[in-house]
Each structure stands twice: as structure tokens, then as C-alpha cells.
Amino acid sequence: MTLRWFRLNQACDQMNAIVCLCLLFFVTWVKCQGWLVDDDGCRTPDRGVGSCIGIKSCLPMIEFLENEPKPLSNRVKQALNHYTCGYTQNNEVKVCCPSDSIRIPGGGNTGSADNLQDPPNIANHRNIRLLPRNCGLMNSDNRIKNGENAGLNEFPWMALISYRTSRGPDFRCGGTIINDRWILTAAHCIKGNRRQLLGVRVGEHDISTRTDCETQADGSRKCSPPPQDVSIEEVYSHPSFDSTLLSDDIGLIKVNRINLNDVNIMPVCLPTGPTVTAKFNHVDVTGWGFTETGRKSQILQKVSLPVVSLEECKRVYNSLQQNLKITYKQLCAGGRNDKDSCSGDSGGPLQVSTFLNDDTRYIQQGIVSFGHRFCGEEGFPGVYTKVAYYMDWVLDTIGN
């Protein structure tokens, strides 16, 4: 690292001092983060063609750093990291240098009408301790590698929301346990439906059986404790939720105390600390396939989906000429090979596994919001509410 700092300092004689300082900081930060290399050659993060050259020889990078507001935001630093493509023989950082200017969503030079912002900083929020540290633990022993059925107790934070219907009680939406009194869901599942809401079930796996069991590899039978049905005390939809635009589609349900255990009923982790700005390319969506028109499966389903860029997602939904606007407070995934939130529930989770609190855990990064009316159609990703942007509201609400 000392040698790299010396070489960049030599180049400072020909550079703006502020730009040079940014380069020095960027190199140090990249050294800690690692880099991405495309096996097909040098590709920029937006899949454009570039030249893998020394960072101080990349004019677009220098111009970007010169014009970007200081200090660099975490979003910009994360984005810059994806431009790195290795090191020169002299141990200098190389970047995939594009032929035209660098434009990063969330950077000060984007001129985006979306007015991109970083998620709220909740590190010192007064209610942060209401989120259990013992959350999102992966039950790897029960993982089914093939097929869409989830393993018994694999996702013990799943919740089912029950409604009054003309045919009797029915599950129409999903949610997740975030502590022993609160369920996270979508606003469209609860807004205007208070009289129809009956309760919440947790600890469920197969809706068609009273006792959930699974045959193990050695032939033995493993059974789960019975699910719990808890009554609803209060419901809260986000104050900015728009049922037409489906923006700010996030809600909370306060329930009678849930008896948490380490088997089939425990909370999921929410984005805190480094997971607030974490980058991910694939996500897991789980649910019974509940929508407002019925259900797909009796057994909990899971599916792994690729993340779709916001730009592509906007293009797809703009082509439908519907009154919908995709924003940075949403994320998109799926829309390929008949797999998307058809396998999830309205209000259910989009989750990402990561290492947190000395273990591999699931972090809920999204909430199933909406998709194309023909579920699973090629080219139409599902749209999810991005939880990180609402963590201040979540903590404010559960602390009331």
C-alpha cells in the first residue's frame, strides 16, 4: 500500500490536488473491498465496453472525481468499486475506463429526476434495540437444493395474514416476524382492510396439515412445533402510501405477543449497519404464492431470483403505459424463466443471506409489492419495496 500511495503522489504534480486526494482515498478503500472482473473482458458496471488501465490514466474517472461533491457518499464509493479490474505490474489500481463520462446513480453529477438519496442512518436510533440480534439464522440442515419447496423451518420468520371473506377465513397476504410483537408487510395488504383482517399465523409450513413433518436423509421423521395464531392489535400503513402508484408500499401489524422459539418461529433481520447499503445480485423470495385472488401452494415455496437494474425495470413498466413510477426506493427482481414473486406472497419477503453478528443470516431487503398481471411472464420483473429506505419509519412505529 505504501508503494501505491507513493506512485499516486508522484502523479499529483499533474493533477488537481482535490482529485488526487480522492484517488488516494479511493485506492485505499478499493484495496479493502476487492474488485470485480468480467471473464469476457473489461466491462463497466452498466455492461459497456471499456479499457482496463491505470486509474490515473483514466480521464473520465478523474473528471468524475473532480466534479463529484465531497466527501464521497457511500453509494458513490460502492459504485466506484465496481469499476476496478485489477492491478498493473507496478501494483497500481486499474479501472475499467469507459470511452465517455462516468455517471453513477446517487452521485451528484447524475442530473436524475429521481433525486436519489442514501437510506436513512439508523445506527443511533433510540429504538434500534427493539430489533433482536438473534435473527435470520439459516437452517442449513434442512435446505432442499432442488425444487421450489422450502425445507421445514428453513424460513421461520414467515407469517400469513388472514382475512374475512364470503367463503370464510382465508390467507390473502404474507409478512415477516421482526420481533415478538410486530409483523412487517405491504401497505396494500392492510390499508382499507382493517375490518376484513382476522389475524396472523406464524410458524406455518404446510397449510394442509395440522402437524408439519419432514423425512430426513437417514429416513427418520422430523416434526415442527404447531403454528401460532395471534390476534391483531393495530395496523399501520406508511403515511405516504399511494394505492394507485403503489409507492411507499410498506406496513406494520402489531399483534399479541408471539412465543418465539429457535425452531419454527423467530424474527428475520432487517437492514442495519453495513447491510443497509449492501450490494447483491441475487435474492431469495419465499411464500405460499398468495395474492388477492387466491393461493398457489399449500407448502412454503422458495425461489432464487436475479436482481434487475432500476433502469431496465423502469423501461419495462413504462412500456405498459400504466400510472406507475419505479423509484430508487424500490428494487426489481426476476421476470425470467417463469420465476418471480409468483412464488412469494403480497407483503412477503425478499431476502439476502450475508455474514452478520458472527453467523450467516438472512436480511430482508425487500417486500413483495406488485408485478405484471400475468405472473412470471418473461421480461416483467417483480417490484419490491426497498426496506432500507424505511427503517427510520419502522423503528419510529414499533417504538410507539
Span 32-49, pLDDT tens digits: 443 344 333 577 876 677
Q: Name the pLDDT band for 365 (thresholds 50, 70, 90).
A: very high
pLDDT at 318: 85
Does the domain at 136-398 match CATH 2.40.10.10? Answer given as yes
CA atoms within 13 A on the CB side of 149: 10
- How far CA 165 is from CA of 112, 143, 236, 380, in Å, comes to 44, 35, 22, 30
Q: Write the pLDDT tens digit of every residue in 215-263.
A: 988 999 999 999 999 999 999 999 999 888 889 999 999 999 999 998 9
Measured CA to CA, the distance from residue 205 to residue 219 in angstroms comes to: 20
Q: Write the pLDDT tens digit of every residue in 127-136.
A: 999 999 999 9
127-132 long-range contacts (CB < 8 A, ≥24 apart) are 127/395, 127/396, 127/398, 127/399, 128/272, 128/395, 130/179, 130/395, 130/398, 130/399, 131/178, 131/179, 131/267, 131/269, 131/270, 131/272, 131/395, 132/179, 132/267
pTM above 0.75, yes or no: no
ω into 71 cis (within 30 of 0)? yes
Starting at the edge strand found earlier in the chain, the sheet holding 93-98 runs: 50-54, 93-98, 84-87
What residue spans in the chain does CATH classification 3.30.1640 cover?
2-98
Q: Write the pLDDT tens digit of every residue in 246-258.
A: 899 999 999 999 9
Q: Cβ(152)–Cβ(212) under 8 Å?
A: yes
- How far CA 284 is from CA of 20, 64, 299, 340, in Å, comes to 41, 35, 16, 10
* Pairing of β 349-356 and β 282-287: antiparallel
Measured CA to CA, the distance from residue 158 to residue 201 in angstroms comes to: 9
Q: Is the pLDDT of residue 7 over 80?
A: no
Residue with cell 403480497: 346
List the one residue out of 136, 174, 186 whose CA is nearest residue 367. Answer: 186
Task: State the catalytic residues.
Answer: 188, 249, 346
Measured CA to CA, the distance from residue 387 to residue 130 in angstroms comes to: 16
Q: How far is CA 160 from the centre of its chain?
A: 20
Top CATH class of 2-98 equals alpha beta
Q: Is the pLDDT of residue 310 over 60?
A: yes
Q: What value, to the nearest 5°, has the Cα angle with vertex 83 and ends 112 and 306?
A: 75
Segment 363-390 mean pLDDT: 86
CA atoms within 13 A on the CB side of 107: 18
What residue spans in the chain does CATH classification 2.40.10.10 cover?
136-398
Q: Name the pLDDT band for 74 (thresholds 50, 70, 90).
A: confident
